[in-house]
Amino acid sequence: MVKINVSQQLKESIGSTRNYVVNEMIDITGDESLIQGEVGLMRTDRSILAKGRLYTELELTCSRCLSLFSCPLTINIEEEYFPTTDIVTGTSLPLPDEPGSFTIDEHNILDLTEAIGQYALMAIPMKPLCGEDCAGLCPTCGSNLNQTPCNCPPKPVDPRWSRLSKLALADNQVSVTEQKGTK
């Protein structure tokens, strides 16, 4: 669960911990993604500290070949949640000094949804790759070289390399004639 009633834990002594299993669909990038893992909540002197490791897979666009792929992500969360209501007296508490802090609502519900979303976005790589060895797109015809090798001539290369590419071509011709010979 990601919406946890912490009214009991707020009454417990500092240091008390509880663990919760997370197995929830959460909207991260516009689509719902299954988030799974475990979160531990610890009572501190002023808050409840949520700490957990979660896993998900997001549909991302490969930065090299532009195809959609499923990218596994590990989301490590560590956030403090401040109560807004005094658990004993029921009176409102001042909001925490730190701007952007997470709060526990007046019904003592600690909602992890937003934190999970924020941490998941931070876990997304800057340049996602569908695979370490993604071949990318052909600069000439634009075909995805992972799926369809094209017949485009190699891009004009630095003249200093032309000797080398001629050598490579000669090698290819040799191997072709060899294959013919063995048939």
Measured from the CB atom, is 63 or 103 closer to Zn ion? 63
Q: How many residues bind Zn ion (CB under 5 A)?
A: 10
Would you count residue 43 as binding Zn ion (CB under 5 A)?
no
Rule CB under 5 A: choose which of 29, 92, 140, 165 binds Zn ion.
140
Is position 116 an interface residue for Zn ion (rule: CB under 5 A)? no
Measured in degrees and rounded to the nearest 5, phi and psi for residue 4 equal -115, 130
- Segment interacting with Zn ion, rule: CB under 5 A, options 56-64, 77-85, 119-127, 155-163: 56-64
**Under 8 Å between Cβ of 110 and 91:** no
Residue 37, number of CB atoms within 10 A of its CB = 19
- Is residue 135 within the footprint of Zn ion (CB under 5 A)? no
Comparing CB distances to Zn ion, the nearer of 4 and 134 is 134
Name residues whose C-beta falls within 8 Å of residue 83's C-beta, 6 or more positions apart in sequence: 10, 47, 48, 93, 103, 104, 108
Asked if 164 is part of the footprint of Zn ion (rule: CB under 5 A), the reply reads: no
Q: Which of 150, 157, 167, 176 binds Zn ion (CB under 5 A)?
A: 150
Shortest separation between residue 180's beta carbon and Zn ion, angstroms: 26
From 39, 48, 65, 120, residue interacting with Zn ion (rule: CB under 5 A): 65
DSSP, collapsed to helix, strand or coil, labels residue 163 as helix
Residue 152 is a binding residue for Zn ion (CB under 5 A): yes
d(CA 58, CA 176): 44
Q: How far is CA 119 from CA 38, 43, 63, 69, 168, in A?
A: 15, 22, 21, 20, 48
Residues that bind Zn ion in the complex, under the rule CB under 5 A: 62, 64-65, 130, 134, 138, 140-141, 150, 152
